[in-house]
Amino acid sequence: MSEDKRRRYSGPVVDGLGKSASRAMLRAVGFTDEDFKRPQVGIASTWSNLTPCNMHIDGLAREAASGADEAGGKSLIFNTITVSDGIANGTEGMKYSLVSREVIADSIETVAGCEGFDGLVAIGGCDKNMPGCIMGLARLNRPSVFVYGGTIQPGENHTDIISVFEAVGAYAKGDMDLIQVKQIEETAIPGPGSCGGMYTANTMASAIEAMGMSLPGSSAQNAVSETKEADCRAAGAAVLNLLDRDIKPRDIMTRKAFENAITVVIALGGSTNAVLHLLAMASTAEVDLEIDDFVRIGKRVPVLADLRPSGHYMMSELVAIGGIQPLMKMLLDAGMLHGDCLTVTGQTLAQNLADVAPYPDGQAIVHALDNPIKKDSHLRILRGNLAPTGAVAKITGKEGTHFSGRARVFHSEEEAQARIMDGTVVAGDVLVIRYEGPKGGPGMREMLTPTSAIMGKGLGSDVALITDGRFSGGSHGFVVGHITPEAQEGGPIALVEDGDTITIDAEANTIELAISDDEMEARRARWQAPAPRYPRGVLAKYARTVNSASKGAVTDAF
């Protein structure tokens, strides 16, 4: 490819006498005459000092910039936002979390589109950063690589952020005192990196690597490590190779690539948020992906990784035995992955995996295919008269596969949390938390605080929780989220009353409210939609434009 074609976006910004003012501005930020002849590579950093997940990404962005410069490009670092789910969970602020995914995508598209970057590296470190980055790259469709910021180290006594949430429930039950809770609070988060289990951050990083949008190994590296710094430098250089070969995100993000991502998420026992985010990423890349694809793929793919929250091990321990590459090689050899998919290396997935060694003998983290933790997917897409257009559950089998109980209805997460903590919620209850969907919340908050309180109080196998909101990757127990249509739109979840019987069957993949069709229609006739909670601002804009959770809760689908 000619030099001009590598600069198809930056050339019109800086070439010729008429762009003298543009060059003058760029000279002030360090450009030389030679730099104007180089392809410009934008480095989208999600650095922020407000969360450990992203506090180190400024340094990683500089490494990526160095890699791009050394390979013949000219890097420019810019920032987008991040928010912290771990800090905001259980508060009104959490409504901004999923919204931030759209803001991140918007901002990356805006900056790169305005400034004329020829290629990009995007570095994310927390739940919404990653799909937001990928959505921005897919919209622009310029040669790009995604880099994961890396996982945190375990806290004292093998603790992490979920240990802190569950300690609060344990205190309410009387199993811990305040000194013990404070000890966990002070030691569970020892430094930089994303939450340490197979929660949403590590799930999405793994999915993106499996899709081919990260360099091999990027999803399973410690946040503070020479390996992660090298990954960033290599990503910067890789963009120049992609520019040479004119390989763009939509060449990589095909339907087969999304199927590979789903397969790896299932094998790892990943977060329910993967359903939401993969649907959104596919929508943005104009790939036809539906929630039923998770059902189809889930019938043939087992859960193999014994990782938190349902399992025992942390991501740092998976890193120590080789990350997800040996798992992917195992799945490829078994015919469960599409090996012909193109990746950001410029090679196919099969070529990338050709020389990957198996896991070391004796490791217990990733099971063999003939000895799975669960023979099919833990991600269950449920339907029934309570969720006509679908709901998402994470059922590993440890919770059982069937639950029937009496509804205890709440109109917000805070109401439910208060009743869990004061002992109102008892065994046999199905907690119904509604008006927390994409439009109703708005923002589809994660129910990590109440699910952690349930586990901490020892009710994990005795209480179910259903919601039109969603769950943190750290949630576990008998939980069903993403119920659609949501309550704000008059979905059946809006019509449930205290004492109704709700039955969840994770083998038949059904969720049913035990009332007659006539009673359902009578309740529907009485129902009135609540007024929007936010009349102005970003939450109001989001509520007006967002689509259903069963379609990814995206705002740019028309």
Confidence band (pLDDT; 50, 70, 90) for 3? low
Look at residue 477 in the predicted model and tell me its pLDDT. 85
| Secondary structure class of 5 (helix, strand, coil) | helix
265 to 297, 431, 507: CA distances (angstroms):
11, 27, 20
534: pLDDT strictly greater than 80: yes
164 to 51, 178, 271, 429, 544: CA distances (angstroms):
16, 12, 19, 25, 35
Q: What are the tens digits of pLDDT across the range 44-80? A: 999 999 999 999 999 999 999 999 999 999 999 999 9
For residue 53, say whether it is annotated as part of any ligand binding site.
Answer: yes
pTM: 0.97
Q: Which strands form 74-79's sheet, in the order they lie side by side? A: 74-79, 40-45, 119-124, 144-148
Q: Are 452 and 430 in contact (CB under 8 A)?
A: no
For residue 195, say whether it is annotated as part of any ligand binding site.
Answer: no
The mean pLDDT of 467-486, rounded to a whole number, is 94
The DSSP bridge pattern shows strands 144-148 and 510-513 to be unpaired
Q: Is 472 a catalytic residue?
A: yes
The mean pLDDT of 79-94, rounded to a whole number, is 95
For residue 35, say whether it is annotated as part of any ligand binding site.
Answer: no
| Secondary structure class of 391 (helix, strand, coil) | strand
Confidence band (pLDDT; 50, 70, 90) for 29? very high
Q: What are the tens digits of pLDDT across the range 194-219? A: 999 999 999 999 999 999 999 999 99
Which of the following is catalytic: 22, 472, 475, 550? 472
For residue 85, say whether it is annotated as part of any ligand binding site.
Answer: yes
Give me the residue spans of the domains in the chain. 38-153+191-353, 154-190, 379-551
As a whole number of Å, the CA-based R_g of the chain is 23
Look at residue 474 in the predicted model and tell me its pLDDT. 84
> Domain 38-153+191-353, CATH 3.40.1160.10 — does that match?
no
Q: How far is CA 482 from the centre of its chain?
A: 14
2: pLDDT strictly greater than 80: no
- Give the number of C-alpha atoms closer than 13 A to the C-alpha of residue 526, restricted to the C-beta side: 9
Look at residue 337 in the predicted model and tell me its pLDDT. 98
Confidence band (pLDDT; 50, 70, 90) for 169? confident
173: pLDDT strictly greater than 70: yes
119: which strand partners?
41
Q: Are 462 and 428 in contact (CB under 8 A)?
A: yes
As a whole-number percent, the residues of the chain with pLDDT over 70 amount to 99
Cis bond before residue 388 (omega within 30° of 0): no
And the tokens for 45? 């950093």
Look at residue 1 in the predicted model and tell me its pLDDT. 44
Q: Are 176 and 168 in contact (CB under 8 A)?
A: no
Distance CA 219, CA 193 (A): 12
558: pLDDT strictly greater than 80: no
379: which strand partners?
394
318: pLDDT strictly greater than 50: yes
Architecture of domain 379-551: 3-Layer(bba) Sandwich (3.50)
The DSSP bridge pattern shows strands 501-505 and 402-410 to be antiparallel
Residue indicated by tokens 């929780």: 465
Q: What are the tens digits of pLDDT across the range 501-519? A: 999 999 999 999 999 999 9
Q: Which are the contacts of 434, defined by CB distance < 8 A and separation ≥ 6?
A: 409, 410, 411, 440, 467, 468, 486, 487, 493, 494, 496
The mean pLDDT of 537-541, rounded to a whole number, is 98
And the tokens for 32? 């030389």
For residue 517, say whether it is annotated as part of any ligand binding site.
Answer: no
Rounded to a whole number, what is the distance in angstroms from the first to the last CA of the chain? 35
Q: What are the tens digits of pLDDT across the range 380-403? A: 999 999 999 999 999 887 778 999
- What is the CA angle 442-446-450, rounded to 5? 120
Q: What is the DSSP string of 329-359?
A: HHHHHTT-S-TT-B-TTSSBHHHHHTTPPPP
Distance CA 191, CA 5 (A): 43
147: which strand partners?
123
Distance CA 301, CA 330 (A): 12
Distance CA 468, CA 444 (A): 7
Distance CA 11, CA 133 (A): 24
Cis bond before residue 192 (omega within 30° of 0): no
Q: Are 260 and 281 in contact (CB under 8 A)?
A: no
**Could you count the other beta carbons within 10 Å of the beta carbon of residue 517?**
8
- Give the number of C-alpha atoms closer than 13 A to the C-alpha of residue 273, restricted to the C-beta side: 32
Look at residue 476 in the predicted model and tell me its pLDDT. 85
Q: Are 476 and 521 in contact (CB under 8 A)?
A: no
* DSSP conformation class of 189: -
As a whole-number percent, the residues of the chain with pLDDT over 90 amount to 94
